[in-house]
Every structure is written in structure tokens, then in C-alpha cells.
Structure 1
Amino acid sequence: MHRYRAANQHGGQMHNAIDILESAIPSTDATEVYTVTHKALASAITVIARADDSAGIIGDACRRLLALHPTTAIAAAVPPGKLVDWMVKFQFDGKVDYFELDPVAYAPALGDAGIAAYRARLDELRASLSAEPAEPFHPDPDLHKRWVLEWNDKRLAVLDHDIAAIIRTHARDRRVAAWFVDTAKAFAEIGEIDLAIDWAAQGVDIGPWHQSLQAAGYWCGLLAEHRPADELDARLTVFRRWPSSSTAAQLHRSASAQWPGYADEVMDTLSQTPREAVLFTLLTLKDPRQAWDLAQRLSLDSDDVWAELIKSYDKIDPAATLPIHRRLVEQQLIEADARHYRAAARRLAKMRKLAAGTDHSAEVDEFIADLRESHRRRPRLQQEFDRAGLP
């Protein structure tokens, strides 16, 4: 299981087995379903502890079982004391330490008495903690235990619908935007939408910028769902703060019929960054002609955007795209490796199709001949050219 491919194959088999398990739930005794789920989860954790799960396939299977476990425990009426013992052992003495259990999901199975017992066990563990290191990054023998306790404090605050506790456990010292988003999501989970919107909006101004942008996205999403009349102004605020093809696309979608009133500002702003202007025009406005004109006028120098643009413009003016294809081929051949060789060969074959029957056909073949000669000492390149059917 240490081999990547073997791990992925096993992960696929795990997902197939979970599909079978889920499909059997309606017609199978609840106790049997829980027993199978519980054993499958234990086996899955053993597997992932030893596997190369770089692709995340086994991890996703584990998460499916973790999501299924509390629902099957509810249906099977698992004794709360037994469930509490397992939850504590899984989180604090398990084989791996990168999965969480959600006490909110287990609350119906635990009942009030079970939740009280679970809290008591957490308090016992909290009391056993060593003192936190005085200096940052110093070794902490209880680091994992602290993290699990903090996670449970957050989820229990949500379970209790305790606004003050949610703010204390999720917002922490309010130093980064991500914690404001965490707080907003917790409030949304308990139906406190006004608070969720307010905390997400606060996160927009906190930083670092990438977290603030995520906060802005969550803020706008909440408005779209719960206060649609306010979404457009928020999208405009976000675009003005972080002008890009993606924030412009969100503004365009929100503006809908009102888009003409924002078009000039958006295009003027995006034109300061040619790649963003071209991408927005091509992918959101679906106007390859205008995107081509912008690319020429703004002296676009992003090869990846040119490559995307000519996919559409090849159909409009094939001859005009040939110089771009040529430059991209030359760029691909700067680095000597098989992947770049294959990409260059495919692009050259595309150029021949575009030029077929035109005055440019001989010019393209001459370019290929020049490449073969100038790179005659790259046998793998010659092979890729041959495989692509190039002259």
C-alpha cells in the first residue's frame, strides 16, 4: 500500500464498498449497519495509516465513513457510554491524528446524558494538560490533545447555540480573516444569519489579503442567499478592492441586466492588467473577437492566456493565430523534456491543419523543418514529431 497506484486502486475499492453499504441501509437491520460501518471505519483508518494517500482517495473514503458513523449510531441506538468511550479513544489515542469527530453530529445518538458525560471526559483530559510552552515553536507534548480539545470546544459551542462561546472559540484573537470566516460559518450553521453576514463582512478588512478575499466570497454568498438586494453592492466593493477576471465575473453575474452600467468601469480597471482584461472578456463575456483586440492593443504577454485565447480565435481567423502558435512552440522547446516535446508536436500538427490549403502551408512546414534541424541532437523530440505525423 506504500505504492501510489496500489493505494489509489484500494481507495477506489473502498468507495465502491461504501456505495454498497449506503445502498443497503434502508433494507438492513440498523444494528448490523452500524456494526459494519464501525468495523469498516476501523479498517479504513488502519489502511490510511500505512498507505501513500497523496491523491486523497483513501482519505475521502474515510471521511465518508466518518459522516456515516453518527447516523448509523443514532439508528442503532448505540449506548451513549459506549459511544463516548469510542469517541474519546478515536480522537486522543487513535492510529492517526488528522480526522475529527463532530459532537454536533453525534448529539442525537448521545442524548443529554451522553453529551454531559462527553463534556466531563473532555474536562478530565483538559485538567491533565501540561503547561503550554512559554516560547512559540517550543516542543509541546500535549499539542495534539490541545488541538482536539479546541476543536471540541468550537463544535460544542455550536451545539449549545452559545453566541459568546462561538465568538470566543472561533474568532480567537481576531488577528486573521480566516477566523472571522470560521465564526461566520458557525453562526450560519445555527441560523444566526445576520451575525454570519456581519462577521464575514468584518473579515474583508482584516487580512492577509488572500484570506480577506475568501471572507469576501463567503460574505457575498451569504448575501446572495439571504439578502439578494444587497449582493450587487457587495460584489462591486469586492471588485474595486481586488480587481480581477474572477471578481469581475462575479460582479457581471450579479449585475445581470444592470451590467451595462458597470461595464465601462470594469473594463477600464481590468485594462491595467492585460491578462485579467482578456480572460474576463473571453471567458465571461464570451467575446473572442473583443478579447483578441484587447490582447493586441494591451500587448498581452501571458503565454497561458494567449494559448486559451487562440483556442477560440482559431475558428475566426486561423491565419492570424499562426504567429502566436509559433511563439508558443518556441517557448515550449526551451525546456528539454518529453512533456514539452509532446505539447510542441501537437501544436505544430494543429498549425498544419490551420494552414492547410492556404499560402501559409509551406511556411509552417518550413518552420517544422527548421526545428528538426536546429534540434537534431534531441532524439526524443524527433520521435514526438514523428508520432505527430509531422514532415
Structure 2
Amino acid sequence: MSVAESSSARASWLQSLDAEDLRGPIEDAAARFPTVGDWLDLHRASSTGDPAELLATVNRTLTPHRRFYDYRQANEYADDGLDTVDLLAGNALQATPALIPVIERAITLATRAILKSDDSSGAQGGLVRTLLDAHATATRTATPPLTQSEQTRLVAWIVKYRYGGTQDFFDPDIVAYAPGLSQKSIEKYRQAIADTDLGRYGSYPLTRLAVLDQDRDAIITANGGEPHNAMVAARIVSDLDEAGLRQDAIAYAHTGIAMDARGWDAKLVTFLVDDALTRGDTRQAVTLRRDWFERFPTSRSFTMLRDTAPSSQKPSTATDADPPASTPSPELASPPDADPHSTERHSPRPGCPGCRGIDPRRTQPAQSTRIMTRPGLPRRTRWARRQQ
């Protein structure tokens, strides 16, 4: 019997059972497989709606018990806590005020674990980020809405979590919390940030407050002033666009493009192209791509130009009797002469296969094989598989 047939047969059998018939196999599975028992306890706690039950589950599954988690142990910790984190994130969509301290406890425990872990896989960090998102979501969706005293406690927790001296990896986003907070609470957060030594690179909360205020000048100041390179311009454009200051974002995108001297990142061009296409100005979109390609004639910029060019064509109304559509123009059919082994031009250099006259495409299969068969690759955790 194939796997599909076995799954279908099992599904049919389960549908034929009533609640009493199911109870026996479920209890037997919980007794024989501890993870099944944990999963059932988790959903039992959620079904009660009792925050104390959820808190007990959080303490049981997320409390770290090792002095240090190596790579494998860190991934196991993340896998073991994934169901609890997903449950909290789901409950946050329709939260009660009592759920918020439970999520805060989960964040504290998961952060405590990551501080003594090899989290190079990012699995534990993924748990913390999911919990922080759930925390902000619960603040916005809480029914009834948080009272002023509850909001004051929440703001104090946010500030302490980030600036209490325990960690500086994760920074709660006040913009995500703002819809669930009063103006008084936001001002309390603003004052707490003003009274905190943010350090040389601690401008994140200032940037987020500027976005929340939709203040163009504050956004630019929080990003270090007028941009001096394309990367700073890109950050400013992102913040201005998020704040709803579209025209200012477009102006700084043009500034950043003019500053770009390498052409490694085309995000600003893409931003302007998307804006042009949204407005229906396909001619400008193609012009932006063509200008970028002429400045940085790489295979990547050519591909982006070729992908944008078809969008400038009107929808076809051809019938079966019409002749086939014309082929792309020669200048868009293939890229110009360039190094076949690189997306960037460069002068001949030692050790470069193309520069020795060897077609790099002949070496690609071997390189791919080495990548795929390289020993010691980490096991794929549930968290990692879910990200794909």
C-alpha cells in the first residue's frame, strides 16, 4: 500500500469512529508518545481560556534547563517550543488583556534561552520574533481594550525588555503597538526613550517614533541626516514610504540612485519602477530600467530590464487568424558581451576560470554537486522547513 493509500484509509477509518471510539487510541498514543501528550495538554490549556493554564504550559515548554545549548540542542529547543509559540500567536489574533502577560513570559523565557545558545540556525530567534509580533498583535486586538493602567505596565515592560541590560538583540516596534495604545501611553514611551542612553547605534526607536509621527524631518534626522550614500538613502526611502510620505520617498529614491556607484542593489530603482507601474506609466518604468542598465551593464540589470519591458505592451486582442506576436527586439533578446562567469564586469585576474579561457558553465555542475553533498550539513528542523 502506498503512502497516499495508507493516509486515505486512515482518514476513512477515523471518520467512521465516534468520540468514544476515538478516546481509547488517543489516550494510548498520549501514554506511549510524550510529544503527543504535550500536544494534547497544549490544546486542552487553550480550550479552557484560562491564562493560568496557558502560563503553566509556557513555563513547562519554554523554560531553559541547560547552561548552554549547542547547535543541535538549540534547534531541539526551538522545535519543542514551536507548538506553544504558534498557539500563542493564534490566540493573539483575538486576545484578552490577560493573554498579554502570558506572551511576555514566553518572550522572557525564549530570550533567556537564546542568550546561552548557539542559535546560528536562527530557529530560536524565529521564536522570539514570532512572540514579539504576537505581543503587539494582542495589544491591538485585546477585547476589552487595555485600560490606561494596563497600557502603562505594558510600556514599562517594553522599555525594560530592550533597555534593562539583559539583551540588545530584539527591539519591540512601537509602530506595531500604537493602534492599541493611547496617546498618553505613546508619550510615556517617547519620554522613556528620551531618558535612555541609546548609544551610538541606538537610533531604531527614534526612527520608529518619527515614522509613527509621519515627520519627514525627524525621519531624516533619525537616519543620521541627509544621505551620503545609496544605502542610507534606501533606509530613508523605506521609512518615508511607511509613514505615508510618498512624494518625499520618491524624491529621496532619485537621490539615492544618483549616489549609487556600484549597482549592487537595485531596490531604489525597483521602488520607482513599481511606483510608475502603479500609476500606469509603463514608459517611465522601462526608461528607469534602461538607464540603470546603461550605468551598470550586468546580466542582472539586463534581466530586470527585460522583465519590465513586456509590461509596457498593451494586452493582446489577437485572434486565431492574427499573425504571432513579434519577437523581442535584438537589444532585449540577449545581453551584451560581458564576463560569462559573473554578473559584474571585472578585469582578468588569477584563479578566475573565465579569465583562463575556461567556460565556467562546465564547472557549474561540479560546484553544485559539492554544495549539495557537502558533509556536516545541519539537520532541517521543523522551524527551518516551515520558512521555505
Work out whether the TM-score is over 0.5. Answer: yes
Aligned partners of 1:39, 1:103: CA distance in 2, in Å?
Answer: 19
Question: What is the CA deviation profile of residues 159-212 of structure 1, one whole-angstrom value per residue up to 9, with x for unaligned ones?
Answer: 111112122223624112111111111121122222222211211121352566
> How many residues get paired?
278
The one of 190, 194, 198 equivalent to 1:123 is 194
The one of 194, 197, 217 equivalent to 2:250 is 197
Give, as a single letter, the amino acid of the residue that structure 2 aligns with 1:246: R
The one of 58, 80, 85 equivalent to 1:18 is 85
Match for residue 249 of structure 1?
303
Question: What is the CA deviation profile of residues 133-167 of structure 1, one whole-angstrom value per residue up to 9, with x for unaligned ones?
Answer: xxxxxxxxxxx53433x222211111111112122
Aligned partners of 1:69, 1:33: CA distance in 2, in Å?
Answer: 9
1:12-51 equivalences in 2 (<5 Å): 12-25=79-92, 30-51=96-117
Match for residue 362 of structure 2?
306
Match for residue 72 of structure 2?
5
- Secondary structure, aligned partner of 1:271: coil
The verdict on how the C-alpha distance between 1:209 and 1:86 changes in structure 2, with shifts beyond 3 A counting, is: same
1:1-391 equivalences in 2 (<5 Å): 1-25=68-92, 30-76=96-142, 77=146, 79-125=150-196, 145-148=199-202, 150-170=203-223, 172-207=225-260, 209=262, 213-226=266-279, 228-229=281-282, 230-256=284-310, 263-266=329-332, 270-275=336-341, 301-303=358-360, 305-306=361-362
Aligned partners of 2:357, 2:295: CA distance in 1, in Å?
Answer: 23
Aligned partners of 2:274, 2:311: CA distance in 1, in Å?
Answer: 19
Gaps of 5+ in 2: 1-67, 314-325, 344-354, 375-388
- Secondary structure, aligned partner of 2:227: coil
Give the conservation status (yes or no) of the 8 Å contact 1:171–1:180.
no
Larger Rg: 1
The verdict on how the C-alpha distance between 1:254 and 1:171 changes in structure 2, with shifts beyond 3 A counting, is: farther
Gaps of 5+ in 1: 130-143, 278-297, 312-327, 333-337, 344-391
Give, as a single letter, the amino acid of the residue that structure 2 aligns with 1:158: V
Aligned partners of 1:340, 1:187: CA distance in 2, in Å?
Answer: 40
TM-score (norm 2): 0.62
TM-score (norm 1): 0.62
Give the conservation status (yes or no) of the 8 Å contact 2:78–2:123.
yes
Work out the percentage of aligned pairs sharing the same amino acid: 24
The Cα shift of 1:7 comes to: 0.9
The Cα shift of 1:123 comes to: 2.3
The verdict on how the C-alpha distance between 1:106 and 1:276 changes in structure 2, with shifts beyond 3 A counting, is: same
Over the residues paired in the alignment, what is the CA RMSD in angstroms? 3.3
- The answer to which of 204-213 and 261-270 deviates more is 261-270
The verdict on how the C-alpha distance between 1:262 and 1:178 changes in structure 2, with shifts beyond 3 A counting, is: farther
Give, as a single letter, the amino acid of the residue that structure 1 aligns with 2:155: V
